[in-house]
Chain A
């Protein structure tokens, strides 16, 4: 149980700055997801919290106490790695017990805590196996087990599900969320998958090139993106962007307009705000994505109900939307 605070945290490798100052206050028991494209500095930020990477500038506090100079073992954290990082020469039991043994926990207590974690993670039949004798999902659970037996103050996850297949990923996602609720532990979770971010997070940090573009609850971020990057990154398919000038509503402040695919509808030629023709359609069952090329040359995606009639490719149509759904961005990409 702990709070975690990052204050203007920066990281430089040699002369290149890769994290340009991140601030966040994480409440006790909160699940925070760091999401962003590859190379934006998610892992680096997490590793600074873990103590595996030095903090170049700013401060990291756990429970209000500065931990910048502390070794990883002194920070009361646990981490689940992308490749699980299990000890290959130890049994599942020993993998989970390793940290407790080092902490000189009495043997009966070690046995009890490992048994408890194994039960929670359905690992009981595998306790005597070596990691290489387990499936990917089971290894993932062992990595989780190793983290929970130590009852850390903060849980750190670095893309823990990215090596699993799609179905298992959905299942493990639920399990992680349940586990975190049950244990009530503060968690910091890195992913580049925005669905994972949306489903897991109490609040999420959307990172872009070493900056936190926006921090907020998933639905709030979705409904109210702070930058065009966030609008484009969160949500699938991404937000459609149009030049304000092409719609004749530019007034100097507003350079681009973003509209989510589900907020656009197809109308008969001439009845909408923008003319175009259907490029192609993707029927996904519950919904259909219609890709439209406007007369100005922009490509737009419209999401409509799977039951709605789909115009054939090449049909001339118009696109309409409600004015209140327009999101305005200035030249720097910020909301205006």
Chain B
């Protein structure tokens, strides 16, 4: 039986959620409403007047090849960041799970990158891959590889993916490790006695039992790659070269603040709002049936 406190009347409950409602109103509903409003107008170049264009901004955006390219860029970027950060994290978690001695140190060290702010992480990786003085660039040069993410689009993408994924590995690692340690040891031992070697056990027992964790992380990481990688992209590539690393969020900034096309920028924000909404629904649906076995 669930225990619940029942409130009589509506005043007290309302009072209790009021602060949260206020915060949501000021920092979410107000700007969101403003974005929707602005997306219907085009301001003149001097910002003195606004011309109503209806859904014109949206029509223009959806037929804009740069905007559609940005969709693809975002999808590729998010997918890569999610795959890299989750793949590496899972690998490290499996190793840490088998470790008996020194696992504490190992864990602590692996958590550190999580404490580094995205922009700082971006600068760190930028230093290492700097086209003139970067350590990694220099070693790559020795190997005969000419690294230049300023000119090369896929190298630029690779670098922002690595820098964004790096900070996420810690977070994913913690969840994966907790997930692994929640699997009873005897279940693994039973599988070993049943004849399953390490890889078979991982494929048929461990990974299926981890799937709630994996799915949760998948959603969280995609949301992260979508919305929280601005700092990394801004410090490393500023969306270039040739907009190769301009994600949807970065484009809102680039078009609105740099290009001063506020109408288009607002329309892009509204589209993003819809995307977040969709992702949130997926997430909630999932949380409802978290344990699927």
Contacts and interface: CB of A to CB of B under 8 A. Distances in A.
B195 A103 contact: yes
Interface residues of B, number: 18
A85 interface: yes
A77 B192 CA distance: 11
Contacts of B193: 50-52, 72-73, 77-79, 99
B187 interface: yes
B188 to A, nearest CB: 8
Interface in B158-192: 184, 186-187, 189-192
> Which 10 A-B pairs give the minimum distances between C-beta atoms?
A99-B194, A89-B293, A85-B186, A85-B190, A73-B195, A102-B195, A81-B186, A72-B193, A85-B187, A89-B208
A58 to B, nearest CB: 21
Contacts of B194: 73, 98-99, 102, 146, 150
Interface in A98-124: 98-99, 102-103
A31 B171 CA distance: 50
Interface of B: 184, 186-187, 189-197, 200, 204-205, 208-209, 293
A82 B189 CA distance: 12
A88 B197 CA distance: 19
Contacts of A99: 193-195
A83 interface: yes
Contact of B189 (A81, A86, A132): A81
Contacts of A71: 192, 197
Nearest to B211: A89
Interface string A244-273: 000000000000000000000000000000
Nearest to B189: A52
B196 to A, nearest CB: 5
A89 B190 contact: no
Nearest to A104: B195
A132 B204 CA distance: 18
B184 A89 contact: no
Nearest to B197: A73
Contacts of A79: 189-190, 193
